Amino acid sequence: MQQISPVNRACGTCTLCCRLPDIDALDKPANEWCRNCIEGQGCRIYEQRPQLCRDFLCLWMTDEGLSPAWDPAQSHMMIYRQGPQITVLVDPDFPDMWKREPYAQQLSSWARQPGTTGQYVIVFVGDAVFKVD
C-alpha cells in the first residue's frame, strides 16, 4: 500500500501491509502476499485499489514521534492502533525482531504506560500471539 503520509513519510519499497495482515475483503490470509502486490514495488492496481487500502496507514506513517528505527523496511514489523490496542505484526522471516533493541524496550514502555486509555500491546508472529508486559 504505497502512500505518502501526513507526517511526510513514504512507504518506499515497504510492502508489509500487503503481506502481513489478513484482509477478508481481498480474500487474503495473514502472511501471504496480496495477489495484487508486486514484491518490493507495490500495488499493481494502485489507482483502483480498494478503499480499505486507501484508508490504511501504519503508525510509522502517522506518528512522527516514532524513531527512524521503526521504519518497517528496517524493523521488519508493521504497527498500528486499534482503539486501546497497539498491534504489532512481525515479518515471520525476522521473527525475533520485536525482542531486540530498541524495539523490546519501546514495546514494554508502551505496555507499561497505559495512561487513561487502557493501552496494551499485542504482538503477532506467524500463528503465535504475545501480550507485551
Residues that bind ligand SF4 (CB under 6 A): 1, 11, 14-18, 23, 26, 34, 36-37, 43, 45, 49-50, 53, 57-58, 60-61, 72, 78
Smallest gap from Cβ 5 to ligand SF4, in A, equals 8
Smallest gap from Cβ 38 to ligand SF4, in A, equals 8
Q: Beta strands of the chain (E only): which ranges?
A: 37-38, 42-43, 77-82, 85-90, 120-125, 128-131
Q: What does the buried/exposed string (b/e) look like for 1-23 if buried means 16 or more CB atoms within 10 Å of the residue's CB?
A: bbbeeeeebebeebbbbbbbbeb
Residue number with CB closer to ligand SF4 (52 or 114): 52
Smallest gap from Cβ 131 to ligand SF4, in A, equals 22
Alpha-carbon distance values, 65 to 24, 43, 126 (Å): 31, 27, 27
Of the candidates 91, 70, 64, which has an alpha carbon nearest to the alpha carbon of residue 5? 64
Residue number with CB closer to ligand SF4 (46 or 112): 46
Residue number with CB closer to ligand SF4 (33 or 114): 33
**Grid cell listed for 23:** 484482509
Residue number with CB closer to ligand SF4 (14 or 132): 14
